[in-house]
Amino acid sequence: MNLHEYQAKRLFAEHGVPIPRGKVAVNADQAREIAVELGGQVVVKSQVLTGGRGKAGGVKLAGSADEAETIAGNILGMEIRGFTVRKVLIDEAADIQDEIYLAMLIDRSRRRSMMMASSAGGVDIEQVAKETPEKIVRVHIDPLIGLRIFQSNYVAEAMGLSSNLWREFHQVATGLYKAFVATDASLAEINPLVVTGDGHLLAVDGKLSIDDNALFRHPNLAEMRDLDEETTSEQQARQNGLTYIQLDGNIGCMVNGAGLAMATMDVIKLYGGDPANFLDIGGGASAESVTAALRIILSDPKVEAVLFNIFGGITRGDEVARGIIVALEQVQSDVPLVVRLLGTNAEEGRRILSEANMQTAYRLTDAAEIAVEAAKEHHQIQEGS
């Protein structure tokens, strides 16, 4: 889960990272009030879960509260890389002398957290890595000891940071590292960390990616999830413990297991079809989760056929079959469905489905072929009507 800039910066600040004064506005009036409070010279920043907002015109300086109001009015409602701007952060404008990149991430190959920094801040770090990789400095952090001052100094020196800023740099780096550890983040990034005109460091931007698997122990962070940034289907999937990713095709898939789901998508493509989604209903799928999954799949208007591919292990074929039938009673649809069941109690499951006049298949290849054909037919019927 990614947090918004304003949320990330507040969490960084709680651990000692200096950030500009600022507040969030949802309309131009509010933006104006905040700008007045901050003295007029502000930066208006779109809060959307994507980078490169500056280049897209989603970060603008304002010289007065009036200007902040106008700019906020323009930025609110703007589309940035597919995200609609619903909030803007109004920050006190910084007097920027230099821009540094600073991040904490996990280096899996070393099984450690890593601090990554560069004097080429402000711009896309991927671009720096490609064009001037020598400008990126890395140090690994011992989890038992934490970030040592000599490590911060080494990085500060390598970046060419003036030595009177080294102490402050260690404070910022330590704060960012603490925030990174405390939130079970996979990435905590400040880009840019700026050197101000009066010779201090200030985190002007912030990004924090939290490991979803750790959210259960951070209810306060889980609450920060911005529901506006998720599609309704994604929200419903998450609430029902399903993994769902919408794609562009027309064949909906309901599969248990991520690997099997990927294989199913490949086989659909092999037979000339195009999957409408990735959906893993997980192990021990209940009738309720099958119903929720079917509802989500069918809410996508592009779906012209649905392929179920269920491998019974702990999940029993007969239970899945009953689940599908219950689901179909609740979710009315004329979209053709085909079920491929294998494993524990699969025969019983297929019998139940056949009795309910449902199309079943024994092999995945057969199921894919049936689904692709059924989708074509359904498409023609829809076109004709």
Paired tokens of 17: 């990272």
Nearest to 182 by CA among 212, 204, 214: 214
Name residues contacting ligand GDP, limited to 109-168 (CB under 6 A): 122
- Binding segment for Mn ion (CB under 5 A), chosen from 109-117, 137-145, 198-206, 235-243, is 198-206
Query: Is 127 or 354 the residue whose CB approaches ligand GDP more closely?
Result: 127
Cβ 60 to ligand GDP shortest distance, Å: 9
The item of Mn ion, ligand GDP, none sharing an interface with residue 52, based on CB under 5 to 8 Å by kind, is ligand GDP
Cα separations in angstroms, 10 against 7, 127, 175, 324: 5, 27, 12, 46
Q: Does 189 bind Mn ion (CB under 5 A)?
A: no
Cβ 81 to ligand GDP shortest distance, Å: 10
Nearest to 320 by CA among 281, 264, 277: 281
Cα separations in angstroms, 75 against 1, 61, 78, 86, 311: 24, 12, 5, 9, 49
Q: Does 303 bind ligand GDP (CB under 6 A)?
A: no
What does the angle CA 236 – CA 237 – CA 243 come to, to the nearest 5 degrees?
165
- Binding segment for Mn ion (CB under 5 A), chosen from 2-10, 189-197, 251-259, 339-347, is 189-197
Instruction: Note the residue count of the chain.
Output: 385
The item of Mn ion, ligand GDP, none sharing an interface with residue 221, based on CB under 5 to 8 Å by kind, is none
The item of ligand GDP, Mn ion, none sharing an interface with residue 94, based on CB under 5 to 8 Å by kind, is ligand GDP
Query: Is 49 or 338 the residue whose CB approaches ligand GDP more closely?
Result: 49
Cβ 5 to Mn ion shortest distance, Å: 8
Cβ 292 to ligand GDP shortest distance, Å: 35
The residue type at 130: K
Q: Does 96 bind ligand GDP (CB under 6 A)?
A: yes
Q: Is the peptide bond before 20 cis (omega within 30 degrees of 0)?
A: no
The 8-class DSSP code of residue 276 comes to S
Q: Does 191 bind Mn ion (CB under 5 A)?
A: yes
Binding mask 26-65 toward Mn ion (x if CB under 5 A, else -) reads: ----------------------------------------
Cα separations in angstroms, 333 against 305, 336, 337, 348: 10, 8, 10, 25
The item of ligand GDP, Mn ion, none sharing an interface with residue 349, based on CB under 5 to 8 Å by kind, is none
Annotated catalytic sites, by residue?
Answer: 101, 189
Residues that contact ligand GDP, how many (by CB under 6 A): 18
Name residues contacting ligand GDP, limited to 9-68 (CB under 6 A): 43, 45, 51-54, 59, 61
- The answer to whether 280 and 259 have CB atoms below 8 angstroms apart is no
Nearest to 308 by CA among 331, 283, 290, 326: 290
CA-to-CA distance for 382 and 384, rounded, in angstroms? 5
The item of Mn ion, ligand GDP, none sharing an interface with residue 298, based on CB under 5 to 8 Å by kind, is none
- Which one among 31, 76, 93, 361 touches ligand GDP, defined by CB under 6 A? 93
CA-to-CA distance for 31 and 65, rounded, in angstroms? 8
CA-to-CA distance for 383 and 90, rounded, in angstroms? 50
Q: Does 192 bind ligand GDP (CB under 6 A)?
A: yes
CA-to-CA distance for 348 and 317, rounded, in angstroms? 7
Binding mask 205-244 toward ligand GDP (x if CB under 6 A, else -) reads: x---------------------------------------
CA-to-CA distance for 45 and 5, rounded, in angstroms? 9
**Phi, psi dihedrals of residue 324, rounded to the nearest 5°:** -65, -40
Directed axis angle between helix 232-239 and helix 287-298, to 10°?
170
Query: Is 69 or 92 the residue whose CB approaches ligand GDP more closely?
Result: 92
Footprint of ligand GDP (CB under 6 A):
43, 45, 51-54, 59, 61, 91, 93-94, 96, 99, 122, 191-192, 204-205
Footprint of Mn ion (CB under 5 A):
191, 205
